[in-house]
Structure 1
Amino acid sequence: MESLSPNIFVADINKTIEFYTILGFDLAMSVPETGPDFVWAMMIKGNVTMMFQTMESLGEELPEIKRTNGGSLLLYIKLSGIRAFFEDIKDKVTVLKGLEKTFYGATEFSICDNNDYVLTFAEDEAE
C-alpha cells in the first residue's frame, strides 16, 4: 500500500471547498473542471489528500453508503506547527476540543467541518 485518500460524501461540494480552503487546502481537481456544479473535488495540503463527492453523483452504485452527513468517522491529521495553525483557524471553524497534550505525548485539537465530520489535528511536539 502506498497511500490513503478518503472520498467523503457531502451535501454541498462548494461549501465544503470553501471550508477546507480555510484550513489551507488547495483544490487540485474537480468534476466538472470548473464550477459551479461540482459533483467531486480533490483537495490537497502537504501530504494530505481528501476527496469529496456528492451523494447524488453516486446514484445507486453503492447503496451500502449511508446518505447522511457526519457519522462515526474521525479523521486524524498529523501536522507541524499545530499551535500556529490552531491560532489561525480557531475563530473561523467550530472547535470541539481546544489544544491539549494527550497522555501519549501528542498535542491535539478537534474541530467539526461543515458536514459534521470530526477532524483531529495532532503534532508530536518536542518537550
Structure 2
Amino acid sequence: MKFQPIVPMIWTEQLSETIDFYCTILGFTCSEKNEEWGWASLFKDDCQLMFAKPNQHTSFEKPTFTGTFYINVDDVETLWKLLKEKVNVVYQLETFDWGMKEFAICDNNGYRIQFGQDITT
C-alpha cells in the first residue's frame, strides 16, 4: 500500500479572497471551483491545496490550525524577495542549524505557511 502526497482541506469563510491570495500572491492556479459546494482546488507545481467553506457538518468559528503548512521549495531566497513586501511575515528568511533556510508568512485567513529549502545538498 502506497500513501500519496497529503492534500490539506483548509476551511475559510472567505473562499474568493483566499483563492485570490494564493493565486495572485503565491502563484497558485485554481484548477477547480464549485460555488454550490463552496470548494476549490489549487495547485502550484507538485503542491496542491483545497479550500472549503464550512458546512453543516463542521463546527467553525474562525480559522484555526495548531501547526503550520510547510512547503519545500528549490529557491527560497528568490521566493522571499518576491513575497516579503506583499504578505504578513511571521519570521524573516533564516538559516537553521538543521540545514534548512526558511521563512514564514500568514495567509489572508491567518494560517501560517513556512517555505523552506534544504541547503545540505
Tell me the TM-score normalized by structure 2.
0.89
The letter of the residue matching 2:44 is K
Q: CA deviation at 1:9?
A: 0.3
Q: Which amino acid aligns with 2:99?
A: G
Question: In the alignment, which residue of structure 2 is the partner of 1:44?
Answer: 43
Specify the code of the residue in structure 1 equivalent to 2:48.
T
Question: 1:57-96 maps to which residues of 2 (within 5 A)?
Answer: 58-59=55-56, 61-63=57-59, 66-96=60-90
Secondary structure at the counterpart of residue 98 of structure 1: strand
Q: Contact 1:14 / 1:38 at 8 angstroms: preserved in 2?
A: no
Give the partner amino acid of 2:106.
Answer: C
Give the aligned partner of residue 31 of structure 1.
34
Alpha-carbon shift at residue 38 of structure 1 (Å): 7.2
Q: Which residue of 2 aligns with 1:15?
A: 17
Gap runs ≥5 in structure 1: none
What's the Cα RMSD here? 1.7
- CA distance in 2 between partners of 1:45 and 1:2 (Å): 17
Q: How many residues align?
A: 118
Alignment partners' CA distance in 2, 1:25 and 1:92: 15
Gaps of at least 5 residues in structure 2 are none
Structure-2 separation of matches of 1:16 and 1:86: 20
Q: In 2, distance between residues paired with 1:81 and 1:124?
A: 10
Mapped to 2, the partners of 1:113 and 1:48 lie a distance apart of 16
Identity %: 29
Runs of 4+ in 1 over 4 A off after TM superposition: none
